[in-house]
Structure 1
């Protein structure tokens, strides 16, 4: 069993969703222990540049690189997060990647991480495992032409909404990224990189739970689809009232 784990939480956020980031800062993001670091991953937007600069000056919790903040650049945002974790927060034993519209129960996640011995923790790459997903060819935001990815199915990958990866595994990913052909679907891309590295994604159903099951399933790690700041705040109040 591993004690005194430092966790880095990287929230994949759309640059325009400042109110949702503020809701996180005022709910679960304000309830973190000293050994937990929270950062928001953003791309660049000319129309939101001043707001992003103000956020950085005020909270010092945003990571921004010079790529356009669009869905098509989600893989760039994910790579940015991995690189930042390895280069700027190397003391974090584990990294939680999570979408901005997801609500985590951090205490449950920390108990989960502590359940591993150090060797097990170092090999952790865990979330909702997707197996034998077909590559989409028709026009869709997830479509990939055959000249970019020729196979009919993706290798096993973890759903991008929330997953944890150890610092040791993250370092292996960062070394491999420059040598793996870019694909804009970030979770599928990580699956390809993991396959090349011989890393097997671990499945745990607790990383995805419908928001309607918030009070029923209290041992889950993450609840999904809180796109409204007010709904997120109310859900957090419900969690605090039942713990």
Structure 2
């Protein structure tokens, strides 16, 4: 009798369990199908990151109903608008040997002053026609904008975009510079992209690098990296759902602290950025993903003879006669000017 009375209860429990399992399966089945589709897509696009759909970096757009939609985002030219910039900077000469485009942060005024001083005092600044440009976006603190406007009026060497000046907008900063140069500086031989913590040795640049590939408009000179490591944490951390299952980017790129590009390629690179899904790490995006869209555009590895990002080691080299370093990253502001003065001692002797 006891068994008979328990049968309806057992039947009810079994029915509830079946319903719960069915509901769980219904929710998980689409995710399993999506996961299989994603894995298949990854195998298909292993060496074609720009066509990897979900595996390219995606941004969340908020629609009018405040719902977040995850979708591939391409660079919008409206986000590249310039609010400060002197369009006549390249108009007064027939040929400019090099434009040094410095990626700077809004608050790094002391570094910009040191770089300006180095360029003004360097004798090679007078031997060649050179232009110096600083790129940055808008400050979080609107009060800083008055200082930036005053700095622009004093020097005229600033290109400022409408985007916020943040690490995740580095690509916008770089592409904005390419667009501006494409439109306003067609009479340039080389474009040198560098960071504001980099010392440039103009003597070594013009002696060893400037004429290295003067017959080629399809070579980017830099400290090249074969399949750079993908960081998941820290300053350069990429979220796990971007390029998942990868430990390295499936292409070569440049260490972006200093890169030399033929100016003839800048308009081509800029147009290619409009066809490649956005990626916020500018070095990976420009010299890896975008570069691969342009036939025959190659990287030439000239580091560590001419490029080095180890500050103290670089300074030791610069102190020695015969050091060929053209670009070296320095850890603090005073080291920039100190390194330049050490180099001038050898040149004067």
State the TM-score, normalizing by the size of structure 2.
0.64
Pairing 1:24–2:115 present:
yes
TM-superposed deviation, 1:218: 2.1
Alpha-carbon RMSD across the aligned residues, in angstroms, is 1.9
Partner of 1:203: 301
Structure 2, unaligned runs of 5 or more: 1-94
SS at match of 2:105: coil
Task: Pick 1 or 2: higher relative contact order, CA cutoff 8 A, min separation 6.
Answer: 1
Q: 1:131 to 1:55 in 2, by over 3 A?
A: same
SS at match of 1:28: helix
Q: 1:240 to 1:132 in 2, by over 3 A?
A: same
Q: 1:30 to 1:71 in 2, by over 3 A?
A: farther
Check conservation: 1:148, 1:183, Cα contact below 8 A: no
SS at match of 2:239: coil
Partner of 1:39: 133
Partner of 1:86: 182
1:31-110 aligned at under 5 Å gives the runs 31=122, 32-33=125-126, 35-45=129-139, 46-110=142-206
Aligned counterparts of 1:6 and 1:201: Cα–Cα separation in 2: 21
Partner of 2:106: 15
Aligned counterparts of 1:166 and 1:151: Cα–Cα separation in 2: 35
Aligned counterparts of 2:132 and 2:275: Cα–Cα separation in 1: 29
SS at match of 2:293: helix
1:129-168 aligned at under 5 Å gives the runs 129-137=224-232, 139-145=233-239, 147-150=241-244, 152=246, 153-154=248-249, 155-168=251-264
TM-superposed deviation, 1:151: 6.7
Partner of 2:326: 221
Pairing 1:212–2:312 present:
no
C-alpha distance after superposition, 1:15-74 (max 9, x if no partner) = 101111111111235432351111111111124201110010000001100111111111
